[in-house]
Structure 1
């Protein structure tokens, strides 16, 4: 269920457009939206005043552009480090989904440029919808879920079914990549899901909701293949599970492998040509 959405806005990017598109989905229409803008600390009081005024205008413009029922939307203006404040507010309102823009920076660039979206994804356990500046946001009708046997993938499947179940003519695309780290990509093959160990249970679950479902497999490097499948199959939204393998004592620290771009989720975040919803679960 997605009942509370946190939209972090900076005045640029497609995050607002993504939320407007998402609010067209019947299962999301009653969700409450909190629109957040964070003002970074400034060196002088006058500079701080200017930034507060600018932040207020960014919030007002964002809410006006969303055209939502006033009873469903609230605005939050905070001062602090944006990556910390977004996580704090998400916890305060118990957000079911965080929506943020992303510049799609690669690997160490995310650290060197202090990427807010990357750090928030690292430190929050909540599903996060990232929208790169250079993609086209389309009406959601075709959702792709990258499947394996993980709990994170099952969580993504449940989110996809929640989103698609009341959309007329919607389609669920289930995909699985057989890992070939040599990078030798195969043809995309449509799979008959009955009794298939990867697709069978997910397909059966989708049929309970009457959602048209197609299943595809390929082989190659997982990140590259998932991005290729999403583009070739013309999906509107990609859901990818991202298990958090850090021990509980280290949850407040970033996962360096994921932060520097060595993870599947980071590759897809940077390279996918559609919005990506990353769902975090604990290992």
Structure 2
């Protein structure tokens, strides 16, 4: 399911660490990797030459650090607007997953500072793994999926099971946040969770693939609760679905309302204390 990965690099950082951990997972170990560095336009030709030379070094350092198989690795040094180029290259290589570093800027701040990761997520329909500068990247063992039964959540579930089925001792955590939830909050016994109409199908799918599963439920503001639960459960990777609500005519424009409004994915991207994989269903 993840056969082609696009890694956008700007210098050795947590995105490279994340990919190194992912490559240790058997189901993803043989994936083809494109390592991309984008050099923005410079005022002078001398400045561009310098930046291109720096870019070559950044790519070489990333490839050396990751120990990538040359036969399954492509390196690209491109010029242009980073957020546009990343989207273009993702389409060129038909990436199943984009991995990028993120400064974790808040909504309006992300717009004003021209946040590359935020815009790429807005403009691309491909799953995107964001790794903030201020988090600790751990070996992947426990994956939380924010699950509400939506198509986007189901896509995340399939990605999580794809990774976990080959991880010895791997664990899936299904987190269900419901504003109208009544009764027990916190971890729910699997037998009880199997009776929940939202969680039952996900649990059955995980069982079919032999993946150990735990369930936690909560009520309140979804973004805050998802971040809290992921920290309480010490997860190594958080997966969140983000339905694309833009009409097809507006696919080429950034959804400013989502950027400065109450976007769940944006809140989690900024506040989660672990790497976040955002997946979008396109209508």
Q: TM-score interval w.r.t. the shorter chain? A: over 0.9
1:167-204 deviation digits (Å, cap 9, x = unpaired):
11010000100126xxxxx8424242222101100000
- 1:190 counterpart residue number: 188
Which whole-Å CA distance do the structure 1 matches of 2:132 and 2:167 have between them? 24
Which whole-Å CA distance do the structure 2 matches of 1:165 and 1:187 have between them? 28
Q: Aligned ranges for residues 82-101 of structure 1 at < 5 Å?
A: 82-101=82-101
3-state SS of 1:6 partner: strand
- 1:11 counterpart residue number: 11
Q: CA deviation at 1:216?
A: 1.0
Cα-Cα RMSD = 1.1
Q: CA deviation at 1:258?
A: 1.9
Q: Verify: 1:245 aligned to 2:222, yes or no.
A: no
Q: Aligned ranges for residues 27-176 of structure 1 at < 5 Å?
A: 27-176=27-176
Which whole-Å CA distance do the structure 2 matches of 1:61 and 1:236 have between them? 25
Verify the 8 A CA contact 2:84 2:120 in the aligned structure 1.
yes
Instruction: Give 5+ residue unaligned stretches, structure 1.
Output: 181-185
Runs of 4+ in 1 over 3 A off after TM superposition: none
Instruction: Give 5+ residue unaligned stretches, structure 2.
Output: none
Verify the 8 A CA contact 1:106 1:261 in the aligned structure 2.
no
1:253-281 deviation digits (Å, cap 9, x = unpaired):
11112212520000000000000000011
Number of residue pairs aligned between Structure 1 and Structure 2: 278
Which whole-Å CA distance do the structure 2 matches of 1:69 and 1:124 have between them? 27
Q: Please, which moves more after superposition, 91-100 or 246-255? A: 246-255
1:223-280 deviation digits (Å, cap 9, x = unpaired):
0000000000010000000000101111111111221252000000000000000001
Q: CA deviation at 1:72?
A: 1.6
Q: CA deviation at 1:55?
A: 0.6
